[in-house]
Amino acid sequence: MCQPVDSIYGVTLVGGGIYSQSDLNQALGLAPVLIAADGGANGLMASGHVPKHVIGDLDSLDPAIRSNLGDKVIHIPEQDSTDFDKCLRTVRAPFMLALGFDGARLDHTLAAMSSLVRHGRARVIMLAAQDICFLAPPRLTLSLPMGARFSLFPMAPVSGRSAGLEWPIEGQEFSPAAQIGTSNRISADRVVLEFDQPGMLVLLERGHLAETLSALQSGPDWT
């Protein structure tokens, strides 16, 4: 078991998937500590960004970059978890913005979404090409534009309550193999969600990142 990596600031966590320079700039503007998951360091170094740490099994990290980064590299050799998992259990920070974990391969995207639920940390937001994705906390209060898309996708059986959604969720028994909640819409000035257990992912448009991050930081988390 490696020693945890602690940060008093938000962390931008970068994987080896697809992201743009503007994505990275936006994330670093909110979360200035840069950490790479394994081969995510290859793209960062190529663009002139040196991560504070690289965490993973290192099967994708360029050997020259590994040598150059020295003790910045944290090798976790076990193969029973993804590099995203390894980072989530190693890094302790007020919040994390994760990019480069979707887009290149669908199995990687699904694995990352599963990791968000498995680690029970709502203050980890995954940035995708058009959306953001995060684990719904026990209670979430958001003020977003009327009519904005508000998608819910259960990764486990879960139930909860809502106010401010066009289609309320109370009384619904959500499950990935049964009831899901994609393409709901905001119908009031404020949306309030409550869940009895972790398992529900929230997907919103990328333009709502700052408001969402503020709401997650001011509310409760599962861990």
The segment(s) of the chain belonging to CATH 2.60.120.320 are: 139-218
Q: Record the tokens describing residue 170, joined without a space.
A: 């109370």
Give CATH for domain 139-218.
Answer: 2.60.120.320
The segment(s) of the chain belonging to CATH 3.40.50.10240 are: 5-129
Mean pLDDT of 34-59: 96
Assess whether pLDDT exceeds 80 at residue 105. no
Query: How much is the pLDDT for 32?
Result: 97
Mean pLDDT of 9-23: 94
**pLDDT digit string, tens, across residues 131-159:** 999 999 999 999 999 999 999 999 999 99
Look up the CATH architecture of domain 5-129: 3-Layer(aba) Sandwich (3.40)
Assess whether pLDDT exceeds 70 at residue 169. yes
Interatomic CA distance for residues 162 and 6, integer angstroms: 34
Query: How much is the pLDDT for 13?
Result: 98
Instruction: For residue 184, give every residue at least 6 positions away whose Cβ sits within 8 Å of its Cβ, in sequence order, or none.
Output: 149, 150, 151, 152, 165, 166, 167, 169
Assess whether pLDDT exceeds 80 at residue 171. yes
Assess whether pLDDT exceeds 90 at residue 219. yes
Q: Distances in Å between the alpha carbon of 174 and those of 53, 110, 111, 118, 222? A: 38, 18, 20, 17, 19
Q: Record the tokens describing residue 63, joined without a space.
A: 């050997």
**pLDDT digit string, tens, across residues 41-51:** 999 999 999 99
